[in-house]
Structure 1
Amino acid sequence: RWFTQAILALKYIHDKHVLHRDLKSSNFFLSKSGNLKMGDFGIAKVLACTAACAKTQIGTPYYLSPEVCQEKPYTWPSDMWAMGCILYELCALKVPFDANSISDLVKKICRGPTPAIPSSYSDFLRQLCTEMLNRNPNGRPSAETILARPQMQAVVKQMLERAQAAQEGRDPAQSGGNSSEIAPPARHSAPASAIGSPHPVP
């Protein structure tokens, strides 16, 4: 559920032409009701249109996309790379790329092997993470594309059913099916604290 909410939040800001530029686990926060929210828009950039690019090299090193590391113009897929790093971190409890220096980290991000998330997770989740960490920005899926996949649609449906049940005073636990296909096991709780974007995720 948390990953789905993160992708919903990413789709929302991208639809508003906002490039976050500093997505990382510590910039997602949990509300009292257990919903994930995106925060810290301090270095976000509003692009003029969907075809516009940003050029400033900025962000947290572990989550920098290859195009940012190489000082190339970047756009929406750069946020998706960072989200792929977060997904890997949620599942493996460590960042996908690590090094003792910035220069070595940049080399790993740009040319090192792309790690796979643990085999205990579904084939869908493992493949999705690989797609999000594609070094070719054009090969990464958009938030809209990810949300259109049946596995994600099932989680969104469950979230809506639970929200409706809560509003009607019914036990939310009686609504929706098992979302383990997408969500990490409970023992792999999000390594982030979280607060909200100005627009709460459903």
Structure 2
Amino acid sequence: NIQLAGPRSRSWPAHTRRIVPRPAPPMDKYTKIRVVGKGAFGAAVLVQARNRPSEQFIVKEVDMSRLSAREREEAKKEIKLLASFNHPNIVRYRDSFLERNQLHIVMDYAEGGDLHGLLQRTADAKQRLPEDLVLDYFVQLCLAMKDVHDRKVLHRDIKSQNIFLTQNRKVVKLGDFGIARMLNSTVELARTACGTPYYMSPEICDNKPYNDKSDVWSMGCLLYELASLKCPFDARDMRGLVVKILRGAFPPLPHCYSAELSQLIARCLARDPHRRPSVNELLALPLIRRRIERFLTEQEAASEFAHTMIHRNPNRNKQHPAMGELIRAPPTPAPRE
């Protein structure tokens, strides 16, 4: 496709015109491989870069014509939010563009699939995930959620389908911020009920305001699922599920897991959100803290914790002197494979 650039009047000499190729549509940079998911307003497509076939990405296609004005603004906010993240445990945003009234959001592709698929395969094989792997996955989720909450954002839809696996299933990445919410202040309470029913917190079930502690509840549900291969709360219908969540009782973990792990889950699944730890408090727990060095270099650890733990809430710093030690003298990272 070509177009004539320059004056269009026939009174101009022909030599003053020049032929300029039209820019190719942005989506032409990619070759579609297959559709990997569909939603109410669009689809997720696996693509590869035409000039670098070894590089694969996920393109979220959103039909803007089906969105209300408010939903279009929410889509723009999501893009701005995604672009702000640069964390090793959060799926990386690459690009976005509008083409034929379709919004395209280009994200990194996680070649290991999602955590939900891994748990299903493990259950089908009648196996269990080793506790070390369970904790490694949870620590990485905590690090990702720390970055999210430090930006005054609630994820609101933490579940195994939104946790993706890379690097031979050793690294997990948090994705799908489609219903994330920017908060005006860290302690502000949201009132919009979102999320997946099995991971809903009691305060959401009870139609009460909620904050970052609701994400921590969902993280506790996911941690339980990693160990038991099933959700802590299940029922035949929504009403029965809500009743079980509000009661807060769940079956014990299999005997092959430690009491420390059970206690960690119990803390995350405290019915009263005030009794639940924040993500920063989770990262200060000895069970979690001693594993951080496996995923962060000394420089990354200093950067990760200094801005939050030093000046964000001084009173909370005093409660966790061990985290202060981590900031001042991070442990030597384990060799990376």
Unaligned runs of 5+ in 2: 1-135, 298-331
State the TM-score, normalizing by the size of structure 1.
0.78
CA contact (8 A) 2:156 2:194 kept: yes
Task: Tell me how far apart the structure 1 counterparts of residues 182 and 253 of structure 2 sit (CA, whole Å).
Answer: 32
Of residues 112, 117, 123, the one that matches 2:259 is 123
Of residues 4, 7, 17, the one that matches 2:152 is 17
Task: Tell me how far apart the structure 2 counterparts of residues 111 and 159 of structure 1 sit (CA, whole Å).
Answer: 36
**Once superposed, which parts of structure 1, at least 4 consecutive aligned residues long, lie more than 6 Å away?**
161-164
The residue that corresponds to 1:190 in the other structure is none
Rg larger for? 2
Task: Tell me how far apart the structure 2 counterparts of residues 13 and 45 of structure 1 sit (CA, whole Å).
Answer: 10
CA contact (8 A) 1:116 1:130 kept: no
The residue that corresponds to 2:228 in the other structure is 92
Task: Tell me how far apart the structure 2 counterparts of residues 90 and 22 of structure 1 sit (CA, whole Å).
Answer: 17
Offset of residue 43 of structure 1: 0.3
Amino acid at match of 1:165: P
Offset of residue 163 of structure 1: 6.7
The residue that corresponds to 1:27 in the other structure is 162
Identity %: 47
Q: Which has the higher contact order (CA 8 A, sep 6+)?
A: 1
Q: Deviations over 1:14-70 (max 9, x none)?
A: 011010011111100012353100000000001111110110111110000000001
CA change 1:160–1:118 in 2 (3 A) is: same
Correspondences of 1:1-202 after superposition (within 5 Å): 1-33=136-168, 34-160=170-296, 165-166=335-336, 172=337
Amino acid at match of 2:150: D
Q: Which moved more, 1:28-37 or 1:10-19?
A: 28-37
Task: Tell me how far apart the structure 2 counterparts of residues 124 and 16 of structure 1 sit (CA, whole Å).
Answer: 30
- Give the secondary structure class of the aligned counterpart of 1:159: coil
Unaligned runs of 5+ in 1: 167-171, 173-202
Q: Which moved more, 1:106-115 or 1:65-74?
A: 106-115
More strand by share: 2
Q: Aligned residues, how many?
A: 167
Q: Which moved more, 1:145-154 or 1:5-14?
A: 145-154
- Give the secondary structure class of the aligned counterpart of 1:109: helix
- Give the secondary structure class of the aligned counterpart of 2:257: coil
Aligned Cα root-mean-square deviation (Å): 1.7
- Give the secondary structure class of the aligned counterpart of 1:130: helix
CA contact (8 A) 1:114 1:133 kept: no
Task: Tell me how far apart the structure 1 counterparts of residues 268 and 195 of structure 2 sit (CA, whole Å).
Answer: 18
